Structure 1
Amino acid sequence: MIRGRNRRVGGGNGMLYMLALHAASQFMQLPRKPPVTATLILANTIVHLRPGVLDLVLPTVQEVCLNPYRVLKDWDARRLLLSAFYHVDDAHLVYNMISLLWKGVQLEGSMGSKKFAGMVGVLLGLSHGLVVVSAKFLYSFADNPGPMYSECAVGFSAVLFALKMVLNWNSPDYTNVYGVLIPSRYAAWAELFFIQMFVPGTSFLGHLCGVVAGLIYINGSFLLSGTRAPVGWVKKVLQRPISLLLWPFTRFGNSSRRGRTYGRGLARGATGVWRCLVCTYDNRSTSHECDMCGAPRGSAREHSVGETEPSAPPWPEEDFDASPPTIEDLRRARLARFNNRAR
């Protein structure tokens, strides 16, 4: 999500267009094209290019950008939805759509199109709603909250940060974020701070609310089912940034008790996680059904992440004698072996 400015199309960046064409070709080679992901990418692209008569019909960036002040003063709720489909320039659009393609192919392929579409709608409304509420809160209590309350932001980034949280929540792997190897679960937090440091003009509040929206979506089922107290859930959410800051110290302090890391995987699997064989999603050991596809844990044979699979096929049943050999069988086998050597 970037602060709204005048839309810029073009610019002669050939490498940017080659990157977009490469991503499109990779998408066309997929055996199954996710329809919801493709529709979202197409809608964002059409709104950005504004071909033909759409240039006269579609509102401008200034009319739909996410401005908390305008949303609350004019009750302009359309800004909560339409601002996600507008982008500042071609680079903003291409990078966001490539990120959406990567996340959408994995999530929609495992969840199904209907559930994925519902999740995107919930995350879109939740993340942008949090932007408005938090900006109003800062305006009321902070010393200098003016820029956050009056800024005008556009882009699909808040939803992408929420999708990243959902995608990597139960992953035991590690991710390389700008050269730093961190657990995939905390990749969105790290990317949040790195983008704010190295990419000027981005909306930190929008990205942060996207991460929080992802956390709320992940843990919302526990609140609704009553299996976890709200106080404990809020405490756990607030502890995530602290755990991220303390992670380098705890990681090296506990290195003797953990498996070594190679690339993005683990030399030894994580404990307390079971994998659903319906959608291959990694779930907590306390869950009785898959958090992604809803399949019961006992509906199919699943295995814990880190279990070693047999390296050779099982012994044929017809060649396997379940009864142990008798002493007489062993004596005859020794005699036969000695006789063969004597010959």
Structure 2
Amino acid sequence: MQRRQRGISAGLLLLFYEISRVGFQNIPPVTLGTLALNVILFLNPLGPLSEVCISVNESFYRKNWWRLLLSPVHHADDWHLYFNMVSMLWKGIMLERKLGSAWLAYIIAVFSVLIGVVYMVLEYALAELLDDPTYKMICAVGFSGVLFALKVLNNHYNPGRFSSVLGMQISNKYACWVELVAIHLISPGTSFAGHLAGILVGLMYTMGPLKKIMKACAGI
């Protein structure tokens, strides 16, 4: 896995344009900080993609657990960064206003690690079910898994709304699943397991015990 040329490129310029159009003063601190962290690590990565990506082989078998922290905040190229951060911009603004800055920061931190764990479980399960060890070697980076989880939360807190997916108006109740399939069909190189892991973690929070566990750990 190799990173494309970094620097001030079209994707970064468009991202800066979107941020300036919203206005720095209108972006809550955790959302703005998340955007800044991802941009900084894109321009100054902590290592090549092959050393920060997450996979069953690299993270589980070789015990490189620090990849759980690094993989979500590294991106393959400027367009990968652009689409993820524009999505984070709007989801972050809505959720931070709804949940508060401290709780959103907590959610992003927990989700980033937990989605990596669920991703490895899914890839391991696919490898065993299909008797194909290559699934254990698939290495993923990017913030999109967290974004799918945040989309589940956003849809949960805004029921009854509709999202546009490929020009179709889809109920928010099903939008995540439709987007999961649509993105995989349009861009087969994207991580289906990573996106699915994000949805599952989001559902663990909205419909399962994760929210209660997080509150208990936070002393709330």
Instruction: Give the alignment's TM-score, normalised by structure 2.
Output: 0.88
1:155 corresponds to 2:142: yes
Identify the residue that residue 217 of structure 2 maps to in structure 1: none
Aligned residues: 213
The answer to whether the 8 A contact 2:9-2:78 is kept is no
2:18 maps to 1:20:
no
Contact 1:148 1:205 in 2 (8 A): no
Conservation of the 8 A alpha-carbon contact between 2:155 and 2:172: yes
Distance change >3 Å, CA 139–CA 111, structure 1 → 2: same
Give the gaps of 5 or more residues in structure 1: 226-293, 295-343
For residue 26 of structure 1, report the CA deviation from its aligned partner: 2.5
Q: TM-score with structure 1 length normalisation?
A: 0.58
Structure with higher helix content: 2
**Equivalent-residue separation in structure 1 for 2:47 and 2:210 (angstroms):** 40
Instruction: Note the C-alpha offset of 1:224.
Output: 4.9
Aligned equivalent of 1:218: 206
Note the C-alpha offset of 1:18. 4.9
Asked if 1:60 corresponds to 2:54, the answer is no
Counterpart AA for 1:68: V
Unaligned runs of 5+ in 2: 214-219
Deviation at 1:60, TM superposition (A): 1.9
How far, CA to CA, are the matches of 1:29 and 1:59 in structure 2? 29
Which whole-Å CA distance do the structure 1 matches of 2:34 and 2:24 have between them? Answer: 18
**Rg larger in 1 or in 2?**
1
Residue of structure 2 in register with 1:6 after alignment: 2
Q: Report the residue type matching 1:8 in the other structure.
A: R
- Between the aligned residues of both structures, percent identity stands at 37
**Equivalent residues of 1:174, 1:184 under 8 A apart:** yes
Q: Which amino acid aligns with 1:209?
A: A
Within 5 Å, give how 1:301-312 maps onto structure 2.
none
User: Quick one: higher RCO (CA 8 Å, sep 6+), 1 or 2?
Assistant: 2
- 2:57, 2:136 within 8 Å by CA — same for their partners in 1? yes
1:27, CA displacement in angstroms?
3.3
Letter in 2 for 1:23: E
Q: CA RMSD in A?
A: 2.3
**Offset at residue 181 of structure 1 (A):** 1.4
